Chains A and B, each alone.
Chain A
Amino acid sequence: MLLEKIVSACLRGLCRLFTGANPRWLCDPRSLAPRVYFANHCSHLDTVVVWSTLPDTLRERTRPVAARDYWGHGTVRRFVAERVFDALLIDRKAAEGTELVEQQRQETLDAMTAVLDSERSLILYPEGTRGSGEAVQPFRAGLYHLARTRPAVPLVPVYLGNLARILPKGAALPVPMQGRVVFGPELRIAIGEEKHAFLERCRQAVLELAGDRA
């Protein structure tokens, strides 16, 4: 218990030091209702930054979705993912055979829905893998299926800026710089909204935040 708290405080301190992260909120930062935060993915820092910039009350009830193939390996990484972030580890590697793929998708969806049903929020990256940091890749369908299953849960677009420069792909050490975190206004799926239209609307919602300056 104590160890988790110490590691958590250290991580947040380091995150502040290296990214100067000061979140900007365009939705209510005090709302305790479960939400789905979805962000652009450009660095290993993304999860730490979103997680550490959430107010304490929200952080306690928010679970980042993380890839098991990265966060599930190694004692330290696993400890941080499971005990500090309380991450929901999911399998990203496609299993062989279409039936298995379908089954894996359903399992992931069920796990995420269960988190929302237990009155907790999720952080996820609909791009799937980290981009170059410049462009935001097309979104995968997971966000759509989740929104369809729980249409009343608000979705919050999150824009992460400059993190790819702080810790780019393949770099071991970060360069301290000012990062940007913008929590956008809540949105929901419309009745009968088509998959691609919805995913594109969500992607645009993230992109719009990129131009937002205080």
Chain B
Amino acid sequence: MSLFADRELAWMIGGILAFLSIASLIAGVLKGRARSEAAQATVANLVARIRAWWAMVVVFGIAIATGGYGSLVMFAIVSFLAMREFMTLLPTRRADHRAMVWTFFLFLPAQYYFVATGWYGMFALLIPVYAYLLLPSVQVLGGDTEDFLARTSRLQWVLMICVFCVSHAPALQMLEIPGYEGQGAKLLLFLVVVTQISDVLQYTVGKLFGRRKAVPTVSPNKTVEGYIGGGGLAVLIGTALWWATPFAPWQAALLSLVIVLAGIAGGLVMSAVKRDRQVKDFGALIPGHGGVLDRIDSLCFSAPLFFHLTRFFFT
């Protein structure tokens, strides 16, 4: 489906570009006003973040505009980069090498192949069943039992988060919703917009009005005010986008709430993983944001829930 053939899709993309332009303008004004060193550092980070957002929107926009396969390839690359970051942090042993090669060169392409062909059964089972049983079998042939349960669990977890969960975002386009055929790109855009705007607004509201720390031992920058204010605003935005989805406004509101809550959980869980591995970010690929996995932590949790709720109630 082409970007310009669908009015609603063009409106959504136009809205994102307008939103980013306003953000760039505000950042420009703030840059001139920042006096103290701390304020300047915050604004510099803000500018870097917004610049990276422009790049991400351009990449994602091209992916969406080139139809289903474009976004499929983009998310496959995202999975690859996320898994590369995650694997780097894992304490693996020599005997895990073969299983790790399989996760990258067998399970990752196979999962996206099943999304591309719309084979729902294999898409849903490949990683939870086949990879779940095959990976430890390959690992055990390495003959090293030291730390075995933890080693095999970590590998499963990485594959689930980076490939299985992420692949549910482009898979939205394979759902056959009556009266909404061939418009899956907007559903994907809806998910990504609500998830990411929720992150952005939580950060913004938290910076401006944050007082009470929500979970200080896991993520010291997250505040109750940020969660409620930013999350609430994201639900409103999601509801206001109902016209681009197959949902009624109240359904869009409920699904947005699920996306926001799942995103919050994803952000916290991945923060805990980073604390556990004693790193601040998963990588440094996206200036101002950190790694790819830092940017999509919320999406990893929101995509599968949104996919299955939509599939259950609307197809």
In the complex, A168 Cα to B283 Cα: how many Å? 22
Contact across chains for B94 and A177 when beta carbons are under 8 A apart: no
A176 is an interface residue with CB less than 8 A from chain B:
yes
- The interface bits of chain B over 84-120 (1 if a CB of A lies within 8 angstroms of the residue's CB, else 0) are 1101100010100110110011000000000000000
Q: Bound state CA distance, A7 and B280, in angstroms?
A: 37
CA–CA, A175 and B93, complex, Å: 12
CB within 8 Å of A: which B277-299 residues: 283-285
Q: Does A165 contact B (CB under 8 A)?
A: yes
Residues of A near B105 (CB, < 8 A) are 173
CB–CB B97/A20 < 8 A: no
B101 touches A177 (CB 8 A): no
Bound: A177/B88 CA distance, A: 5
How far apart are the CA atoms of A175 and B98 in the complex, in Å?
9
Closest approach, in angstroms, between the C-beta of B286 and any C-beta of chain A?
13
Q: Which residues of B contact A8 (CB under 8 A)?
A: none
Contacts of B283 in A (CB 8 A): 20, 178
Cβ–Cβ contact A165 & B101, under 8 A: no
Given known pairs A165-B92, A168-B94, the reply for A175 and B101 (CB within 8 Å) is: yes
In the complex, whether B227 has a CB less than 8 A from a CB of chain A is no
The verdict on A171 contacting chain B, using a C-beta distance below 8 Å, is yes
- Checking A20, A162, A175, A178 against B100 with a beta-carbon cut-off of 8 angstroms, the contacting residue is A175
Q: Is the C-beta of B75 less than 8 angstroms from some C-beta in chain A?
A: no
In this complex, which of B87, B97, B101 has the most chain A Cβ atoms within 10 angstroms of its Cβ? B97
Q: Determine the distance from Cα of A214 to Cα of B92 in the docked complex, in whole angstroms.
A: 24
Partner of B88, one of A173, A174, A178, A214: A178
User: Is A20 a contact of B84 with CB atoms below 8 Å?
Assistant: yes
State how many residues of chain B have any CB contact under 8 Å with chain A.
17
Q: How far is the CA of A171 from the CA of B99 in the complex (A)?
A: 12
A residues less than 8 Å from B85 (CB atoms): 178
- Report B-chain residues with C-beta under 8 Å of the C-beta of A173: 101, 105
Beta-carbon contact of B84 and A176 below 8 Å: yes
**B80 sits at the interface (CB 8 A):** yes
Complex Cα gap A173–B80 (Å): 16
Contact B88 A162 (CB under 8 A): yes
Q: How far is the CB of A46 from chain B (nearest CB, A)?
A: 17
8 Å CB contact of A178 from B84, B97, B98, B104: B84
Closest-CB distance, B216 to chain A (whole angstroms): 25
Q: What separation, in Å, do the CA atoms of A177 and B89 have in the docked complex? A: 9
Contacts of A177 in B (CB 8 A): 84, 87-88
How near does chain B come to A16, taking the closest CB pair, in angstroms? 11
In the assembled complex, how far is the CB of residue B100 from the closest CB belonging to chain A, in whole angstroms? Answer: 4
* A167 nearest in chain B by CB position: B97
Closest Cβ of chain A to B115, distance in Å, is 21
Shortest A63–chain B CB gap in Å is 30
B160 to chain A, nearest CB (A): 18
Q: Mark A85-116, 1 if CB is under 8 A from B, else 0.
A: 00000000000000000000000000000000
CA distance A193 to B87 in the complex (A): 43
Residues of A with C-beta under 8 A to B88 = 162, 177-178
Residues in B whose Cβ lies below 8 Å from that of A165: 92
A168 touches B97 (CB 8 A): yes
With both chains docked as a complex, state the minimum distance between the C-beta of A133 and any C-beta of chain B, in angstroms: 9
A176 to B104, Cβ gap below 8 A? yes
User: Per-residue CB proximity of A145-186 to B under 8 Å, as 1/0?
Assistant: 000000000000000001001001001011111100000000
User: Which B residues have a C-beta under 8 Å from some C-beta of A?
Assistant: 80, 83-85, 87-88, 92, 94, 97-98, 100-101, 104-105, 283-285
A-B contact pairs, 20 of them (CB 8 A): A20-B84, A20-B283, A20-B285, A22-B284, A168-B97, A171-B101, A173-B101, A174-B101, A175-B97, A175-B100, A175-B101, A175-B104, A176-B80, A176-B83, A176-B104, A177-B84, A177-B87, A178-B85, A178-B88, A178-B283
| Residues of A near any B CB (own CB < 8 A) | 20, 22, 162, 165, 168, 171, 173-178, 214
